[in-house]
Amino acid sequence: MLTVLQFLKPYKLPVAIALILMLIELFVELFHPFLLAKIIDDGIMQEDVSVIIRWGSLMVVLSLFAFVAGVVNSFYAAHVSQSSGFDIRSGLYRKVQLFSFSQLQKFEASSLITRLTNDVTQVQNTIFMSLRIMLRAPLLIVGGALMALFINVKLALILIVAIPIIMLFLIWMMKKGGALFSRVQAKLDRVNHVMRENLTAMRLVKVYVRYKHENKRFKKSNKALMDQTVSALRLMEVAMPALLFLMNVGIMAILWFGSFEVNSGGAQVGEVVAIVNYATRITSALSVFSMIIIVFSRFKASAERISDVLQEGDEPKSEAEISPVVKGSLEFKGVTFTYPNKKTEVLKDVSFKVAEGEVLAILGATGSGKSTLFQLIPKLYEPSDGEIVVDNFNIEGMNSNQLRQQIGYVPQEVFLFSGTIKENIQWGNGEASMNEIIEAAKAAQIHDLIDELPDRYETRIGQKGVNLSGGQKQRLSIARALVRKPAFLLLDDCTSALDVKTEQRFLEALKHYSCTTLIITQKISSAKKADNIILLDEGEIVGKGHHDQLKEKSELYQLILRSQQREEAFQDV
């Protein structure tokens, strides 16, 4: 919670102003019963109309003054809450962007999203409410008690006794509520998760006609959410009636003792009236408390969930002292890798070399560690052992940004952003000119298709490029990598949805890009054209060399070759 409150620091001054303005309002409100007592005791009892008029007009003037203060307070409160909300959201977002992959895995995507959206909004609203009205309630209680003391010490003592009891009760509720509402939030996350999963899998649900099954699944989590919410809220709702009763008993006590005080001359009627008035004001302030408890315990839960993210360590950044101009040679030296929190070694003592401008094909069964190997090159993960060397520099000491600038990565699973085709390609290189974009699109064999679209490069594609076919998406994602003019091109089996002619043309076009290329592939036909091939099996290199060498030496390669031989005549259509 403190982490989140830190975000208020830059706004100390506006916060202070907002609070002062609120205090002014509060003061006016608390001053009114005092003036009322004056009017009764000095005006009515003493039969002096001028006193009544004097104090009466003062009340009017003060009211207007408080109004102005209140309006200005709104401006400051909104400013503080919106600005700090903005800062939290930005800070959080930036943090998530800086997460390493292993950190990202700690949080589910859906939970990260809720943290960035709902939780931030929750915090922001709480800040606004606090500056505007919520702090008012506790201050009103304290202020009211003080004013009562000022008017008549003996009678006010009854109020003073009640306050600590109320406070203790409230603190207990707050604690209890915090725990309950964080459980509610967890259930809400679950509901959202099921919904998101269902949305992504909608085609499957439809084909299997499984909506009833899905409904059942959803019902379960929805019901759990309902039950948890009901039990949390019901506990909270006990607070107000209990507190009201306590305060009302206080009022009765004031009346009882007040009557004796008035009789003995220890107090005046106006004073009793004023103190009763303070007591009722305090009572009505309490009615806000059950809301405050709910809001605050939600705030606490949200703030903690935000802090969880913010308190994650930064991705280890070792800034290179030299920022080498990458030419494009790459070497793995005895690289071993295990995913964080997992036991099995995905890569075992992998060593190989690629010279500048060469093409290396990587073959291997699924799960043999090919994609993992790729992810180590842009430093998405750090090897557990061994080193990766680019142009004679260990990448461990390289600035990851500068390194990644030089890499064009095409992952196996295509991900495009919503926006136009041009934006998506340009995403690879913000400075790319239209010509460069077209050039990349041509090389990726997608230009002709784009040209046929009504809006050409300005054609919008959905969040996941819904109106494009898988192959088209793959080619866009290749164009995105090419437009960077990278020193390294990493193609993670990204030509799978391409037909064979397109693929051949693409590989041909690649030759014009002077980059070191690593291709993960299943097709011998593609691998054949590479300068070198490595064969991975369960994280180990079991074969190295070019096509003809491997054909001779490697049994596994022969096996793969045989399995594809019969298709050699046609390959893919």
Among 4, 8, 24, 76, binds other proteins (CB under 8 A): 76
Backbone region of residue 341 per phi and psi (left: phi > 0; alpha: psi in -120 to 50; beta: other values): left
Whole-Å CA distances, 279 to 22, 70, 159, 290, 571:
20, 24, 7, 18, 88
Q: Which of 9, 168, 470, 514 binds other proteins (CB under 8 A)?
A: 470
Handedness of CA 180, 185, 189, 195 (dihedral sign): positive
Sheet holding 330-338, edge to edge: 345-354, 330-338, 385-390, 393-394
SS3 517: strand
| Binding segment (CB under 8 A) for other proteins, from list 220-228, 304-312, 434-442, 541-549 | 220-228
Of 29 and 334, CB closest to other proteins: 29
Whole-angstrom Cα distance, residue 259 to residue 257?
Answer: 5
**113 interacts with other proteins by CB under 8 A:** yes
Among 199, 265, 313, 548, binds other proteins (CB under 8 A): 199
> By CB under 8 A, is residue 305 in contact with other proteins?
no
Q: How far is the CB of 175 from other proteins (least distance, A)?
A: 20
* Site residues (CB under 8 A) for other proteins, limited to 501-540: 501-502, 522-523
Minimum CB separation of residue 359 from other proteins in Å reads 18
Residue type, 59: M
With contacts defined by CB under 8 A, name the span among 91-99, 148-156, 170-178, 346-354 that binds other proteins: 91-99
Closest of 448, 446, 449 to residue 410, by C-alpha: 446
- CB-wise, 17 or 334, nearer to other proteins? 17
Stretch that binds other proteins, among 137-145, 153-161, 405-413, 539-547 (CB under 8 A): 405-413
Query: Which residue, 45 or 334, is less far from other proteins as judged by CB?
Result: 45
By CB under 8 A, the count of residues binding other proteins is 185
Residue 300 makes contact with other proteins by CB under 8 A: no
Of residues 3-22, those binding other proteins (CB under 8 A)? 11, 13-14, 17
Q: Does 343 bind other proteins (CB under 8 A)?
A: no
362 vs 438, beta carbon nearer other proteins: 362
In 3D space, the residue among 544, 489, 533 whose CA is nearest the CA of residue 356 turns out to be 489
Binding mask 37-56 for other proteins (x = CB under 8 A): --xx--xx--x-x--xx-xx
Give the residue, chosen from 172, 256, 394, 433, that forms a contact with other proteins under the rule CB under 8 A.
256
Pairwise CA distance, residues 274 & 434, whole Å = 77
Report yes or no: 338 and 350 within 8 Å, Cβ to Cβ: no
Q: Is 242 in the site for other proteins (CB under 8 A)?
A: yes
Q: What is the closest distance, in whole angstroms, from the C-beta atom of residue 293 to other proteins in the complex? A: 12
Q: Is 323 in the site for other proteins (CB under 8 A)?
A: no
Residue carrying the six token digits 């085709």: 421
DSSP secondary structure, 163-184, as one string: HHHHHHHHHHHHHHHHHHHHHH
Nearest to 364 by CA among 556, 550, 528, 547: 556
Q: Which of 254, 58, 22 is nearest to 156 (CA)?
A: 254
Structure tokens at 193: 């998760």
CB of 5 to other proteins, least distance (A): 18
* Binding positions for other proteins, 121-180, rule CB under 8 A: 121, 124, 128, 132-133
Q: Does 206 bind other proteins (CB under 8 A)?
A: yes
Q: Where are the alpha helices (DSSP H) in 201-210?
A: 202-207
Residues 359-398 that bind other proteins (CB under 8 A): 363-368, 378, 380
User: Which amino acid type is present at position 62?
Assistant: L
| 265-294 binders of other proteins (CB under 8 A) | 269, 272-273, 276-277, 280-281, 284, 291
